[in-house]
Chain A
Amino acid sequence: MQQNNSRASSGSASANGRRGFTLVELSIAITILMIAMVSIAASTSRMHSLRKQNHERTIGHNGLRSMAERIHAASYGFSDEPGSWATNLLGRYSPGGAFGDEFDVLGLSPVAGEPSVGRITILTDETLTDAALGTRMGMPRDLNGDSAADDADVSLNARILPVVLTIRWRSRDEVNELRHGFYVLGY
Chain B
Amino acid sequence: MQHIRTTTARAGFTLVEQMIVLALFVTVFLSGLALIESGRKFSSTTLGIANVEDLSQQMLHKLERELSNARGAEPIAVLSVPLAGAESGTLLVDSTLGFPPAGTLLLARGTAREERIQYAYLDPNQIAFSNLGRGEQCTQPASHDASDPVLWSGLAEPLDNQTNPAANMFDGTARDGNGQVFFRGDGTGFAYRVPVVPPGGNSMLNGDELFWGAEIPGTGATTNGWATLYFEPRETISEAEVDQDLNGDRDKTDTFDVGQLRRRQWSATDPQNIHSDVAMGPTALLQERCNYGGDLDGDGFDDPMFLWNPRTNELAVRLFLLGRSKTNTNLVRQAQTVMFLRNEPEQLQN
Chain A residues proximal to chain B, CB less than 8 Å:
4, 8, 11-12, 15-16, 19-21, 23, 26, 30, 33-34, 36-37, 40-41, 44, 47-48, 51, 54-55, 58, 62, 65-67, 69-70, 72-74, 76-77, 99-100, 102-104, 106
Contacts and interface: CB of A to CB of B under 8 A. Distances in A.
Closest 4 CB pairs of A and B: A15-B10, A66-B338, A73-B340, A69-B340
A157 to B, nearest CB: 25
Contacts of A47: 42-43, 46
A23 B42 contact: no
Contacts of A41: 35, 39
B50 A51 contact: yes
A70 B338 contact: yes
A70 B337 CA distance: 10
Contacts of A12: 6, 9-10
A18 B168 CA distance: 86
B6 A11 contact: yes
A99 B24 contact: no
Contact of A69 (B38, B43, B50, B339): B339
B178 A73 contact: no
A72 B312 contact: no
Nearest to B335: A62
A62 B53 contact: no
Interface stretch (B25-33, B85-93, B95-103, B287-295): B25-33
Looking at chain B, what size class is its interface with the partner chain? 35 or more
A54 B21 CA distance: 44
Contacts of B43: 44, 47
Given A30-B24, A37-B35, A20 B312 contact: no
B337 A66 contact: yes
B162 to A, nearest CB: 12
B3 interface: yes
B12 A20 contact: yes
B49 interface: yes
B72 to A, nearest CB: 12
Given A37-B32, A44-B39, A70-B338, 8 more contacts: A12-B10, A20-B13, A21-B21, A23-B17, A40-B39, A54-B50, A70-B340, A76-B342
Given A15-B10, A47-B46, A58 B53 contact: yes
Interface in B31-71: 31-32, 35-36, 38-39, 42-43, 46, 49-50, 53, 57, 60
